[in-house]
Amino acid sequence: MATGTDAALAAGLAEDAAERFLRYVRIDTQSDEDSESYPSTAKQLDLLRLLVGELKEAGLADAAIDEHGYVTATVPATVAHDAPAIAFFAHVDTAREASGAGVNPQRIRYDGGEIALGGSGQVIRPGESPELEQHAGHELITTDGTTLLGADDKSGVAEIVAAAAYLQAHPEIPHGVVKVAFNPDEEVGRGVIHFPVETFGVVAAYTVDGSTAGEVQSETFSGAQVRMRIRGRAIHPGWAKGELVNAIKLAAAIIEKLPKDSRSPETTEEREGYVHPVVVSGDSTEVELRFIARDFENDQLDEHVEFLRGIAAEVAATDDRCSIDVESRIQYRNMRDPLEKHPEIVANLEEAVRRVGLEPKRTAIRGGTDGSALTEMGLPTPNIFTGGHDAHSEREWICVEDMGLAAATVVHLAQIWAE
């Protein structure tokens, strides 16, 4: 159980994190998968540069941003012995599924039932957001129903900054070197591709990019992207009989062949993988279809990719005047196996969760984090909850109290690594 001191710590950190969060979400940081720059959008730098200033204001004197937009800073050790250095990561970009511009956050006291989001027509319903019922009597932050909120992952950013500022202001708390890092482009799968893992100087890291309070995550999906370029045969439609091959109809035929009751996000749960069409663009002459494939097991991920290749081949075989080129790439791998070689990293996180008064719940992420890539790059990086829910939608919400618990977990983790 949490002590009164722990409860006061979480409450104080909750207010600090919430205030920062309300500032951060008003900055549009949506990333762009089709961009060839890094970061993929310049507007992400608006928040990243702001964070450098806030970290310096909190006393982290070495706070800086590099040529890739990575913001790093250090809370110096307060113990004389050689405690391991650890780090906390969060990403600033938001997803493409809903607009990240003009975010108008609403802080409300939740008394139960549905939450109507202004006049937008959007409603958060307990039946669709199961965690909502557990938060009656709590302070929540929602959108106004016209944009996403950005709790994924500006809540993690705010919680890390609040925790780092607290540690810096309380040198009596024993801990080793604690580093923080904020990056762009997680949502497009390129968040840490340039991060200097080998010279960063930490033995373990944690992303603060989860959901329900108390969750500890050391396993993610493995992810792949599949792109199909469908080429038809163009001609004036008035003289098209026997000549036209419509690329849009070929794309529709591919989509029609996807299973209706399996292998999709809307029909799977727990450890079931899926394929998911995410982008369609083009015209009757040429269309691009973009899919993501997800599974916890790498061999099953390969099966999903081959399944999509098979559908493309079937549709291409219907007319020898069309062509369908398929490209695939791995986006990230499940962090499970590397983390199992370092059990103390997750064990310390579970102990930190207990110290804030929660029972740790080990869950697997039906998605990925920058920790997936960092772990593959040699820096073991499990995931910590943030308190956010329903990410990538206009119905996104977060509990202020849970933000405090997440930030307090970061503070306790720093202490545990020095014990």
What is the maximal distance between C-alpha atoms in the chain? 83
198 phi, psi to nearest 5 deg:
-65, -30
Residue written as token pair 């840490």: 192
Distance CA 185, CA 29 (A): 9
Q: Are 346 and 218 contacting, i.e. CB atoms less than 8 angstroms apart?
A: yes
Among candidate residues 364, 399, 356, the one with its CA nearest the CA of residue 132: 399
| Residue 306 bears catalytic tag | no
Q: Give me the phi and psi of 35, to 5 degrees please.
A: -75, 145
In the block, residue with structure tokens 């923080």: 180
User: 130 and 397 in contact (C-beta within 8 Å)?
Assistant: no
In the DSSP assignment, the letter for residue 32 is -
Q: Is-catalytic flag, 186?
A: yes
Please report how many Cα atoms fall inside a 13 Å half-sphere around the Cα of residue 186, on the Cβ side.
Answer: 28
Q: Following DSSP, what letter does each residue of 52-90 receive, concatenated?
A: HHHHHHTT-TT-EE-TT--EEEEE----SS-PPPEEEEE
Answer whether 145's CB lies under 8 Å from 394's CB. yes
H helix or E strand, kind and range, residue 361: strand 361-365
**Alpha carbon distances (Å) from 223 to 209, 264, 309, 331:** 17, 14, 16, 5
Contact 171, 353 (CB under 8 A): no
- Of these residues, 54, 153, 186, 215, which one is catalytic? 186
- The closest of 96, 114, 50 to 290, measured between CA atoms, is 96
C-alpha span between 97 and 292 (Å, rounded): 14
What's the CA gap between 161 and 29, in Å, rounded? 18
- 93, 139, 370, 402: which is the annotated catalytic residue? 93
Active-site positions read: 93, 186
